[in-house]
């Protein structure tokens, strides 16, 4: 075993079904590594629960390549000059600037687009002052607007969401849907009440697939354990051991997306104790250090891995 993801299948499917049933206008997001579960699996699950014609959202034009019609596929990131890929006929690409529109025109695109709106995320999106000019350019290019996308930061209050919508609702044509992200079903209902004439939909990824992390556990395996004396060096960078103890080699590394936490701490735990990294994980393994006198795992023991699933690639997914 290298990196193994274990999923409580019944609880996971019940959660997904509940979110789908309670969120009108839901657009499932199936981008990246499929939130640790794989995009093919998520696409199959969406098809089972909502039918093959249900629209989904992916991150790039490359991720859209393997999503066949009749599934409409939102491409959330604008297609760039470097993206030497054919745009699938079932795609709905994103436009945030006039340059994005020019790129699509150069690729011969003639179908609807999503207009990305600026938000406090400060990523990409057309500013309110430039919105009308972009809409006119889209119309002049012979294209139509499928929807307008507003990507909000996490943990916004109803008032903060309404403040952003108050900027855009007067500008967006009434027949055009406003596609929101990071908005719960209750927040959506509150905004629909505040803006009764607006058409809304909600793109959900993390909340849909990872809404309850208790369904998931991530483990790796101990490959080797050997003693080491204080100041003896080990690892790629000849790191000296801080004391007498043991080197514990675990079978997960950067090839799986396993890296130190944002604060530099080790992502590995044994018996609810964090294992200290001797040096950062590399490729398919990592070296931990356990001082003498502390509980030390044995070869073959399972080690808990603390990493977000959207950033890892498990070797094995076990449904239980």
The rounded distance, in Å, linking the Cα atoms of 258 and 219 is 11
Closest CA to 206 of 183, 188, 227: 183
Helix%, strand%, coil% for the chain, nearest 5 = 25, 25, 50
Residue 144 burial (CB count, 10 A): 12
| CA-atom Rg of the chain in angstroms | 24
Beta bridge partners of 201: 179
Which pTM value belongs to this model?
0.91
Task: Check residue 84 and give its pLDDT.
Answer: 84
What pLDDT tens digit does each residue of the chain (320 aa) get? Answer: 689 999 999 999 999 999 999 999 999 999 999 999 999 999 999 999 999 999 999 999 999 998 988 899 999 999 988 888 899 999 999 999 999 999 999 999 999 999 999 999 999 999 999 999 999 999 999 999 999 999 999 989 999 999 999 999 999 998 999 999 999 999 999 999 999 999 999 999 999 999 899 999 999 999 999 999 999 999 999 999 999 999 999 999 999 999 999 999 999 999 999 999 999 999 999 999 999 999 999 999 999 999 999 999 999 999 99
Task: Check residue 82 and give its pLDDT.
Answer: 84
Task: Check residue 1 and give its pLDDT.
Answer: 65
Backbone angles phi, psi at 282, to 5 degrees: -140, 130
Helices 9-22 + 39-50 axis angle, to 10: 60
Which DSSP symbol is given to 215?
A: G
């Amino acid at each position: 075993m290298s990196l193994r993801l274990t999923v409580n299948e019944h609880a996971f499917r019940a959660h997904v079904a509940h979110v789908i049933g309670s969120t009108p206008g839901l657009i499932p997001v199936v981008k990246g590594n499929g939130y640790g579960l794989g995009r093919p699996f998520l696409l199959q699950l969406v098809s089972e629960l909502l039918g093959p014609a249900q629209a989904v959202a992916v991150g790039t034009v490359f991720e859209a390549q393997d999503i066949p019609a009749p599934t409409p596929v939102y491409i959330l990131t604008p297609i760039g000059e470097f993206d030497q890929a054919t745009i699938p006929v079932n795609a709905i690409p994103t436009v945030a600037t006039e340059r994005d529109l020019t790129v699509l025109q150069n690729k011969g695109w003639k179908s609807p687009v999503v207009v990305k709106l600026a938000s406090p995320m400060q990523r990409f999106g057309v500013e309110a002052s430039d919105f009308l000019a972009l809409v006119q350019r889209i119309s002049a290019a012979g294209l139509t607007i499928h929807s307008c996308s507003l990507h909000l930061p996490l943990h916004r209050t109803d008032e903060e969401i309404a403040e952003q919508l108050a900027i855009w609702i007067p500008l967006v044509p009434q027949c055009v849907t406003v596609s929101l992200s990071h908005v719960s079903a209750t927040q959506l209902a509150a905004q629909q009440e505040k803006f009764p004439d607006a058409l809304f939909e909600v793109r959900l990824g993390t909340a849909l697939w990872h809404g309850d992390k208790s369904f998931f556990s991530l483990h790796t395996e101990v490959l080797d354990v050997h003693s080491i004396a204080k100041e003896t060096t080990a690892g790629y960078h000849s790191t000296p051991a801080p004391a007498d103890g043991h080197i514990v080699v675990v079978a997960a590394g950067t090839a799986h997306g396993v890296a130190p936490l944002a604060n530099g701490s080790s992502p590995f735990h044994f018996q609810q104790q964090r294992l200290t990294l001797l040096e950062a994980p590399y490729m398919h393994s990592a070296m931990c250090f356990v001082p003498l006198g502390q509980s030390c795992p044995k070869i073959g023991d399972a080690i808990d891995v603390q990493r977000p699933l959207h950033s890892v690639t498990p070797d094995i997914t076990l449904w239980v």
